[in-house]
Structure 1
């Protein structure tokens, strides 16, 4: 992966301005696509570790950073904005490719800085300062116990390599396990420590929301995946408690979606619900569960980012994010309504999408663990369909208000961005990419 980072920096230095960053990220995407099939075996050196999961996450990072730049054409002349996106993409590639547990932690935390710059520098309202402080307080305070455990454990075993630590979790108490998983549960986030996410999404610009929902939340799931093997985590009573708490939280987040008035807050709460499936899949100590978690992370990365794009494009037409005042889109912007229909169907896991594969793969392990878990999962699937149908019908049906008038057609950059989010979800036809367990 060091070659990918060098390529991103080198290509961005060949030209200047907006196109340099777009070109470098596009080259990174092509590199990731060609390297996917070559990383089914573990490839480790002193700095980087390349596995199937990390390769998929790097592809997700490069592609979504590329699409976020295309979608944010208004900031194309801002060199600081382009530099923030490029730095964030490089940090994410390094985080997903780190073979050292300490370097992974460092890049995990450094990713917050460009995100904070995006929120504060290009946010919409003065409350963006409060949203940025919420995000930093929640994530940094939850990750400090993890740093102490990393330093203590690596000193005890004499190495910081993730593949060599192999610490027995029998000696870890519930409180210590909470310290190991807490940073990533807040990052996902799990319901109960999620309040920073809707605030950050509401105040963030389009690129910030896309990267935050599409990539940064996946750092939490990827972190649990890494800690699971570094600390030999298995299904113990504490993990079972965290799974039950996460699933109940996902169901409550689905209820909260039906009460949201702001469309960006709506999509943020739906992300909390979907990420609860990732927690359950990772902690239930099963190959099916990990398969489901990785597929759900990939699918949710593209679908949630696309829904934030649609929310922003609809805002540019209606000049409001209040769902009751955005109705009637079908009459004045039918192409935009078509994309809303497609991505609402994808978000509710309609066949034959990648989201369906992720959600259905976790059902057997939930059923074998507890019938209650499978019932909660069934309710989550039902209410996911309910709030997505509510969102589509509220935005597109009915009579439009007088201040919503037919405007210019969707820009080519908008259509390219939406199509770029839609195409990777067809990876269900190439599901052998996820055969890593």
Structure 2
């Protein structure tokens, strides 16, 4: 009887937190309806849950729940409260259609994230990582606030759908604020440092949700600013830097010894494809960006989980000290194989669909983009194979001491990360 309870406890835990957060969200919506009746303003003017909004809200709740599930050893009330507040802020950010409220929640998400990096990080350099993260993101988003205030003064509305301007200098400021958040190559230096120093929950939420705020913001801001396609010199420059930066980030992965830094640079390469998909400003590009964001959220979060589970067995994240884990931890090695295959866009995962759609979008831009994309696909397969073989194959390293096998919550965490990546969604959910 005890073994059955021990087996199903993580699932009950996940079910409990799902109901708790969903209940909080329902209570929030009820309170908004009450305020709507009391103050006589239309709820549709603030909340408009389209399919994209609902997808991002679902993503926020699930990744936060998985971060709870993957760190049972940390049950401090402040830690749980920090993740719960961050989940609520992200849910609100993905739900609003008022661009000023979106900016407020967009910036408010940095505060709990900073706490996860600084208070629950592992190394003394976490203070420097938090400093880097705040300087990069806040300095890029403060001009965005001035632009939004200028738009309100000019258009007398804060709704995405009611504003449509075509000022090139404003577009530059808007794009930079969200490209730092994603981040684009050359604006990415804060991300590997924040990932390396953050706790497991911080890395999972940062890679799984917070990077998606940048892509979601670009999609939302495209309702205000006309991207105007392939004839814009500034957009061609951003597309070129993004696709070239993805290739450089993939090559940079081959030089990493730290597993978390390896996965962080892999995230930079994948998010560059999201930038390209959005800026191409075609239906296929937007679809590919949304699919890639959803797939990357689970694959990157799962890789950070495996990094932490491996660290608990070796007490080091340095891949030079790891060899032959397949012989002593076969289940963990199997999880590494599956997720490295997913990360390199092996069929039938969502990553493959996202890359196929982005290729069709780039074919209308330039054949040079297609050539770089081919190199990117090659190096993506190369560095994922390198990551898997370097950790799991070869003679067992003397630094690895056989310890306890994977726990039940670790199995459940890996399975819940992999299952959404096998879903082939109907296309209507993204359009």
On whether the aligned pair clears a TM of 0.5, the verdict is yes
C-alpha separation in 1, matches of 2:216 and 2:121: 28
Tell me the CA shift for residue 144 of structure 1. Answer: 0.9
SS of 2:363's partner is: helix
C-alpha separation in 2, matches of 1:400 and 1:433: 49
Q: Which residue of 2 aligns with 1:23?
A: 16
Aligned residue among 220, 227, 244 for 1:226: 220
Q: Which residue of 2 aligns with 1:128?
A: 126
Q: 1:419 to 1:219 in 2, by over 3 A?
A: same
> Is 2:341 aligned against 1:341?
no
C-alpha separation in 2, matches of 1:187 and 1:86: 21
Give the TM-score normalised by structure 2.
0.90
Give the TM-score normalised by structure 1.
0.89
Q: Which residue of 1 aligns with 2:64?
A: 65
Q: Which residue of 2 aligns with 1:6?
A: none
Aligned residue among 207, 214, 234 for 1:213: 207
Q: Which residue of 2 aligns with 1:385?
A: 381
Tell me the CA shift for residue 275 of structure 1. Answer: 0.5
Q: Is the 8 A contact 2:322 2:399 kept in 1?
A: no
- Equivalent pairs, count: 402
Q: Is the 8 A contact 1:99 1:162 kept in 2?
A: yes
Q: 1:30 to 1:373 in 2, by over 3 A?
A: farther
C-alpha separation in 1, matches of 2:393 and 2:19: 37
Q: 1:141 to 1:349 in 2, by over 3 A?
A: same
Q: 1:22 to 1:155 in 2, by over 3 A?
A: farther
C-alpha separation in 2, matches of 1:30 and 1:423: 24
C-alpha separation in 2, matches of 1:213 and 1:314: 19
C-alpha separation in 1, matches of 2:293 and 2:430: 15
List per-residue Cα deviations over 1:393-426 (Å, max 9, x = no partner): 0000112223312211211111111001011112
Q: Is the 8 A contact 1:57 1:96 kept in 2?
A: yes
C-alpha separation in 1, matches of 2:54 and 2:236: 29
Aligned residue among 173, 182, 187 for 1:188: 182
C-alpha separation in 2, matches of 1:306 and 1:435: 23
Structure 1 unaligned regions, length at least 5: 1-18, 33-42
C-alpha separation in 1, matches of 2:377 and 2:100: 37
List per-residue Cα deviations over 1:182-201 (Å, max 9, x = no partner): 11100000000100000000
- Superposition map of 1:248-287 within 5 A: 248-287=244-283
C-alpha separation in 1, matches of 2:23 and 2:208: 19
Cα RMSD of the aligned pairs, angstroms, is 1.8
- Superposition map of 1:17-416 within 5 A: 23-26=16-19, 28=21, 45-76=44-75, 78-165=76-163, 167-169=164-166, 172-173=167-168, 175-235=169-229, 236-416=232-412
C-alpha separation in 2, matches of 1:190 and 1:168: 24
C-alpha separation in 2, matches of 1:20 and 1:401: 36
C-alpha separation in 2, matches of 1:135 and 1:29: 30
Structure 2 unaligned regions, length at least 5: 1-11, 26-41
Q: Is the 8 A contact 2:321 2:399 kept in 1?
A: no
C-alpha separation in 1, matches of 2:17 and 2:70: 16
C-alpha separation in 1, matches of 2:18 and 2:215: 23
C-alpha separation in 2, matches of 1:22 and 1:61: 15
C-alpha separation in 2, matches of 1:93 and 1:286: 27
C-alpha separation in 1, matches of 2:13 and 2:361: 46
